[in-house]
Structure formats: structure tokens, C-alpha cells
Amino acid sequence: MKPAVLWRGGSLVALVAVAAAVPLLNNPLVTNVGVFVLMYVGSAVAWNIFSGFTGYISLGAAVFFGTGVYTTALLTEHLKLNGGAVFATYPLGGLAAAVIAVPFGLIALRVRRHTFVVVTIAFFFIFQLMAYDFSWTGGTLGILGPIVNWDPNTFYNPFYYTALIVAVGSAVLAWAIWGSRFGLQLRAIRDDEDRARGLGVKTMRVKLTAFVISAFPMGILGGLYFFLQGQALPEYAFNPFYDLTLALMSFLGGFGTLSGPIFGALLLEPYLGYAQYQVTNAYVAEVVLGALFLAVIIFLPRGILPTVGEKFTSWRVAWVRRSAGAQAAPAEPAGASPAADAVKTGAAGSGAPGGGSQR
């Protein structure tokens, strides 16, 4: 147990160190993609704190992100902020998102499962339409951000480090919650909400707290996104793709695990960023994304990390047994029908690239 913890902690520290060193490459394109990757790491981890731990799949996360975007945008516009001062408004964006999460959660968390998903989608659309239709949001034209003339080579660095801090902060928060009494209550709700309530978990309060906590980092990142893009537009602030991508990242890496969303975001966002640059093939990229999604769901239904971990363990057990001299190996494939065999090899073949790169 101890070495595993050490190994995990060490690899995490190494990951953060590598991430912190990326801007030193002095390549603005890499840093720019890096900002988005970290933004999605932070968002996916925050999303997972509520949805992953409780099993309530929320497709309304963009409400919090968009609230952050517009809070920072409006503050910047009305207080005429510029440069570094804009960064000071990010926590307020997070706070606004957390405040919005209270009524949102009080209504949406009354229902479960499918209905919850639908209610979050409804909330999402209400917010997007409000951003389009209110006069103080600038409507379809949105709000323009301040123009800064920083050195283009290091332009993205402040954004990068802010996003890194938020991402690491969310991950630490998720880790702290995971092992705590609060985290256990969340996971009890995920396993059986009625029984959890029977055992004395104040389910509504616990769920709402997690919902509000998960909103905060997304609001901060929304503010960051506004300054980075220099513009708040309703279709990008409240973007259905954001909700979907967070869910996909978490499921890809491992839904409801600690490292799953981080891994999923690190894997997926560079691809999405790349696809965005290839505008001519954006639709093909979309189809590939969908196909990838389906492949993950069917072949790695619990996400890459847990499945690969399991495979690795069972493979190691088999290897240990074989080297111990037991002759159980040849008995395995005999019983299966040819059709099942074909399916199996097919599945293994398609699954292999993902598994291989993982190891």
C-alpha cells in the first residue's frame, strides 16, 4: 500500500512539475493549447467532485462557466479594468457561479437520474437564452474584453499559471473530499441514496454542498476564458459542448475516480484543440470524437484507468501463477465458441492501441 501511495504521489508531483515547465519552451502555440488543456483538467475535476462522486450526471456545468465569463466581463466593462487587474475578478466569477449553484441545486436536486439530467439541460438553455436576450449582456454581440499589448511570446503565461493553479487546487480539493467523511457521504449517495438517507446522511444538504463546491472552479475558469478570448459571447460562454466534453473526459479516464478526469482531459483536449485548428476537417473530427466515445463506452465501459488497471492486475496475477509452475494456462480458450472467439479477438484488437499507449 505504502509504495503505491508514494508512487502515485511522486508521479503527480512530477506531472505538476512538467506542467509548470511548459511555458519555458517559449512556444506561444504550445502554451495556448496548454491553457485550454488545464482549463479542461480543472473543469473536469470540478465536475467530477459533484457528478462523479454522487453519480448525478450534470449537463449544466456550462451555467457555472458562463456565469464566470459574464461576471468577469461585466466587472471589467463597468470598472474599466485592464491588464493584471482583470485577474483579480476571477474569484468573484467563481463566487457568482457558486451563488447561482444554490437555487439551481435546490430545484434540480429534488429529482434523480434521468430527470436530473434533463433539468440541468433545461437550466443550461434558460441561461444561454438569457445571455442572448438581456440587454445588459450585450446580446449576440457579447461584451468585448480589454486589449492588452503584452509580449506575444509570453502572452499566455499568466493565463497558463492561473489555470494551472486552479487545476491543481481542484485536484487537491477533490482528493481531500474523496477521503473525508463528506466524500464518503457523497459516495454513499451514489451507491444507494435511499439507504444513505436511512443511515442518517442529510442527502440534500450534502449534494447541494458538493454542487456548490464544484461550481466554484468552473466560475474562475470562465473568467479566465473571457480575458483569454477577449470577448464574452453567449454561444461560447454557455456552450453545450462544454458540458458534453466534461462528461466525456471523466468517462474516458474513469468516472468517479480521482485521476480519471485528469487523465481524460489530458488525453482528449489536445485532440480537440488540434481539431479546432483543422477547421476544414472540423466535422470529420466531430465524427471521430463520437466514434472514439462509442469505442470507450463499449470496450472500456468504466474508463481507461480502472479497466487498464484491472487488466494489468489480472495479467500480473496470471503471470505470477504461470511462473510459479501451475499449468492452468491451456484450459482457457477451449470452451468458447468460434463466434465468441472472433468477437473477443476483435474487441482485443480495437482495445489494444488505447491500452498500449497507456502502459
Partner 1 sequence: MGTFLRAVTDGVLEGGVYGLMAVGLTLIFGVLDIINIAQGIMVVLGAYLTYVLWTHLHIDQFVGLLITIPAMFILGVAVQYLFIRPLRGRERTSMSLLACYAVAIIIEGVLYQIFGSNYVSYTDYWTSPQATVEIGGYYLPYIYLFGFALAVLFVVLIYWMLYRTQFGRSIRATMQDHTAARLIGIDVNRVAALTFGIAVAVTAAGGMVYGTTTAFNPNTGYDLISRLLAIIVLGGMGSIGGALGAAVLMITVESLVDVYWNPQWSVVVFYAVLVLVLVFRPQGMFGRKEARAQ
Residues in the site for partner 1, rule: CB under 8 A? 55, 57, 107, 110-115, 117-119, 121-123, 125-126, 129-130, 132-133, 240, 244, 247-248, 251, 255, 283-287, 289-291, 293-294, 297-298, 301-302
CB of 347 to partner 1, least distance (A): 10
**What is the CB neighbour count within 10 angstroms for residue 2?**
6
CB of 277 to partner 1, least distance (A): 17
Q: What is the DSSP string of 250-279?
A: HHHH-TT-SSHHHHHHHHHHHHHHHHHH-G
Between 123 and 216, name the residue whose CB sits nearer to partner 1.
Answer: 123
Between 115 and 180, name the residue whose CB sits nearer to partner 1.
Answer: 115
**What is the CB neighbour count within 10 angstroms for residue 73?**
27
Between 25 and 118, name the residue whose CB sits nearer to partner 1.
Answer: 118
Residue with cell 473530499: 177
Between 316 and 344, name the residue whose CB sits nearer to partner 1.
Answer: 344
Q: What is the residue type of 40?
A: Y
Between 14 and 106, name the residue whose CB sits nearer to partner 1.
Answer: 106
CB of 292 to partner 1, least distance (A): 8
CB of 171 to partner 1, least distance (A): 23
Between 76 and 302, name the residue whose CB sits nearer to partner 1.
Answer: 302
Cβ pair 72, 226 in contact under 8 A: yes
Q: Determine the 3-state secondary structure of 232 from DSSP.
A: strand
Q: Distances in Å between the alpha carbon of 186 and those of 17, 208, 301?
A: 31, 10, 22
Indicate the length of the chain as a whole number: 359
Pairwise CA distance, residues 236 & 144, whole Å: 13
CB of 92 to partner 1, least distance (A): 26
Phi-psi region at 254: left, alpha or beta (left = phi > 0; alpha = psi -120 to 50): left
CB of 297 to partner 1, least distance (A): 5
